[in-house]
Structure 1
């Protein structure tokens, strides 16, 4: 089991690491001549940023087909309110980095091979994935904070993508010996 926001952030970090590896290998093999037009360095990322700036509020909305919020509201409460991770987590999440390392290698292979032989601008797909997962993490964190719960991913062995939630356990306010509020 893993917190859903942590899962999305790990995916984003994995995609960024794959992007760095892909760009370094691409520059080592093809050199700077692979990107002759400087506008193409800034154009695709600007378009991606604009799309994601418009797409993220749609994910926060309740519009069917766009909303992530509807998925969050279908989450089931967990029996353990403390949110302690079980030691026998599902196979999908076993080991802290193993599945993400395999995923990073797959991302590198998928983007590097066509970029070497065809168009180097395919690496922007990795950038889009990384920023998209970061935006999903922001949507999840916003929803968790707003509703006072933590979303968990992978609590059900039969359906590892099913979400559950636990309430946030707030610490009691500190008290002084005279019951005066802390300064």
Structure 2
């Protein structure tokens, strides 16, 4: 099983890794994807889109709201024991070539600005991780993916375990 917030952050790191490969290769082969003014407008557009998408995800709307998915998660009796740490496995190794190859091919063959598209995915996934972390903090639960092998995208939750740190007197 995989913690939902870690799953989203792993996708963010993977998108940034794809971006770190696509942009230099595209610049080397085709030149700069866009002017400095164009990059600023592109980034501003991505941020605006991400904010709107994240705010829609914070609602309970039927097809876009993430909160309904969090609230419909099934309870686990105890937290899973075999959890892969985000530190030990920061990248999603099957997602990296899925993002990298088409982006690189389209950026070189069609339009150089396509090399910046992994940034859009990273911002959207970062917004989803932020929503899930806020929901977990408010509800005192931890969201997990993969409890059902037939539907690994379905969510479950366990009570949050808070470590008590004692200071010596």
Counterpart contact for 2:145–2:156, Cα < 8 Å: yes
Q: Which residue of 2 aligns with 1:162?
A: 154
Alignment map for 1:71-90 (pairs within 5 Å)? 71-80=69-78, 82-85=79-82
Pair member with larger Rg:
1
Counterpart contact for 1:45–1:124, Cα < 8 Å: no
Alignment map for 1:20-39 (pairs within 5 Å)? 20-32=20-32, 34-35=33-34, 37-39=35-37
Unmatched runs of 5 consecutive residues or more in structure 2: none
Q: Does 1:63 align with 2:56?
A: no
Structure 1 runs of 4+ aligned residues shifted over 3 Å read 95-98, 171-177
Q: Which residue of 1 aligns with 2:14?
A: 14
Q: Does 1:149 align with 2:141?
A: yes
Report how far residue 76 of structure 1 moved: 0.6
The CA distance in 2 between the partners of 1:176 and 1:38, in whole Å, is 55
Q: Secondary structure at the match of 1:157?
A: coil
Counterpart contact for 1:60–1:139, Cα < 8 Å: yes
Q: Does 1:133 align with 2:125?
A: yes
Alignment map for 1:91-110 (pairs within 5 Å)? 96=89, 100-110=92-102
The CA distance in 2 between the partners of 1:140 and 1:10, in whole Å, is 14
The CA distance in 1 between the partners of 2:50 and 2:64, in whole Å, is 13
Unmatched runs of 5 consecutive residues or more in structure 1: 88-94, 178-183
TM-score (norm: length of structure 1): 0.81
Distance 1:9 1:97, change over 3 A: closer
Counterpart contact for 1:76–1:165, Cα < 8 Å: yes
TM-score (norm: length of structure 2): 0.88
Name the Cα RMSD after superposition: 2.3
Report how far residue 130 of structure 1 moved: 0.6
Q: Secondary structure at the match of 1:101?
A: coil
Q: Secondary structure at the match of 1:64?
A: coil
CA deviation profile, 1:102-140 (whole Å, cap 9, x unmatched): 311121111111111111111232110011101100000
Task: Give the total of aligned pairs.
Answer: 166
